[in-house]
Amino acid sequence: MTPGPAANTELGLRSKFRLDGRSAIITGGASGIGYAIAAEFSRAGATVHIVDRDGEAASAAADSIAAANTSAGGPIYAYACDVSDSAEVDSVFSALIAQHRVDVLVNNAGIAGIGRVDNTSAEDFDRVFNVNVKSVFHCTRACIAPMVEQGGGVILNLASIAASSGLADRFSYSMSKGAVLAMTYSIARDFIGQGIRCNAISPARVHTGFVDNYLQKNYAGKEAEMFEKLSAAQPIGRMAEPQEVANLALYLCSDEAAFVTGADYPLDGGFFKLHG
Three-point CA angle 122, 216, 68, nearest 5°: 100
The sign one gets for the Cα dihedral 53, 147, 164, 209 is: negative
Taking alpha carbons only, the member of 90, 89, 105 closest to residue 197 is 105
Least confident of 6-15, 67-76, 146-155, 245-254: 6-15
Residue 7 three-state SS: coil
Active-site residue among 35, 77, 79, 173?
173
Average pLDDT over residues 200-216: 89
C-alpha count within 13 angstroms, C-beta hemisphere, residue 180? 35
- What number of other Cβ atoms are within 10 A of residue 10's Cβ? 7
C-alpha count within 13 angstroms, C-beta hemisphere, residue 50? 35
Q: What does the DSSP assignment read for 71-101?
A: TTPPPEEEEE--TT-HHHHHHHHHHHHHHS-
With a threshold of 0.85, does the pTM exceed it? yes
Q: Is 214 a catalytic residue?
A: no
State in Å, rounded, how far the first CA of the chain is from the last one. Answer: 43
The rounded distance, in Å, linking the Cα atoms of 28 and 81 is 9
Quick: pLDDT tens for 51-95: 999 999 999 999 999 999 866 678 999 999 999 999 999 999 999
Q: 274 CB contacts (<8 Å, ≥6 apart)?
A: 235
- Give the confidence band of 275 by pLDDT, cuts at 50, 70, 90: low
Cβ–Cβ under 8 Å, residues 252 and 265: yes
**Domain coordinates in residue numbering, the chain:** 23-203+243-264, 207-239
Quick: pLDDT tens for 91-135: 999 999 999 999 999 999 999 898 999 999 999 999 999 999 999
| Cα torsion through 240, 242, 248, 253, rounded to 10 | 160
- Give the confidence band of 4 by pLDDT, cuts at 50, 70, 90: low
Average pLDDT over residues 141-160: 98
- H-helix segments, the chain: 32-43, 55-68, 86-99, 122-129, 135-150, 171-191, 209-218, 223-232, 242-253, 271-274
The rounded distance, in Å, linking the Cα atoms of 6 and 4 is 6
Residue-averaged pLDDT of the chain = 92
Cβ–Cβ under 8 Å, residues 128 and 176: yes
The answer to whether domain 23-203+243-264 has CATH 3.40.50.720 is yes
Check pLDDT > 50 for residue 10: no
Check pLDDT > 80 for residue 48: yes
Identity at 200, one-letter amino acid code: A
Least confident of 19-23, 163-167, 190-194: 163-167
- What number of other Cβ atoms are within 10 A of residue 192's Cβ? 15
